[in-house]
């Protein structure tokens, strides 16, 4: 009966099965690729962007960019525990990083840290220092958020 219907439609039964299997395989592959991309995505945000929507970044790996706040750096060379505040001039968060700081790490340096939030503490496992050949301190001490974002990307 099925063969008659398939032959009337001009389709061989094996071709129908192969076509359905192909569609199924493509669907599973597409699902697996989308899941892999979602888990590999790392968002770049500033501290005030996190403060506005902390629930959006809960249990997600993010890159947090900003400046190292003055007089906030503490480094324990026994257990290589580095703590400091990262700020964008509006919001500040405490950062905990295990490992020796990079050579150019200092107060008022631009940093991009990768990790996740644990309550209001950012736990970092990757610390990058952003710098250029020319240092220009803000004239009035005011940090321009858009300029900070451009310099850190």
Q: Give the model confidence (pLDDT) of 27-73 as tens digits.
A: 998 888 877 776 666 778 899 999 998 888 887 888 999 999 999 99
**139 lies in the same domain as 93:** yes
If one counts the domains in the chain, the total is 2
Note whether 53 and 16 are same-domain residues: no
| Full domain range(s) for residue 60 | 43-152
Q: How confident is the model at residue 4 (pLDDT cuts 50, 70, 90)?
A: low
Q: Residue 55 has what pLDDT?
A: 87
Residue 40's pLDDT is what? 66
Same domain, 36 and 71: no
Per-residue HEC secondary structure of the chain comes to: CHHHHHHHHCCCHHHHHHHHHHHHHHHHHHHHHHHHHHHHCCEEECHHHHHHCHHHHCCCCEEEEEEECCCCCEEECCCCEEEEEEECCCCEEEEEEECCCCCCCCCCCEEEEEEEEECCEEEEEEEEEECCCCCCCCCCCCCCHHHHHHHHC
79 lies in the same domain as 101: yes
pLDDT for the residue numbered 5: 54
Q: Can you give the pLDDT at residue 152?
A: 65
User: Is residue 58 domain-shared with residue 124, that is, in the same domain?
Assistant: yes
- Domain identity same for 35 and 92: no
């Amino acid at each position: 009966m099925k063969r008659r219907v398939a032959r009337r439609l001009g389709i061989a039964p094996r071709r129908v099965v192969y076509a359905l299997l192909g569609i199924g395989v493509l669907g599973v592959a597409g699902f697996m690729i989308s899941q892999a991309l979602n888990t590999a995505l790392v968002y770049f945000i500033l501290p005030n962007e996190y403060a506005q929507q902390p629930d959006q970044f809960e249990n997600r790996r993010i890159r947090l960019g900003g400046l190292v706040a003055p007089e906030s750096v503490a480094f324990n060379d026994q257990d290589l525990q580095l703590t400091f505040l990262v700020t964008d001039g509006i919001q500040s968060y405490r950062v905990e990083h295990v490992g020796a700081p990079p050579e150019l790490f200092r107060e008022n340096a631009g940093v991009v840290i990768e990790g996740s939030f644990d309550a209001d503490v950012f736990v970092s496992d990757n610390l990058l220092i952003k710098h250029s050949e020319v240092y220009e301190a803000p004239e009035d001490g005011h940090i321009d958020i858009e300029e900070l974002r451009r310099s850190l990307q």
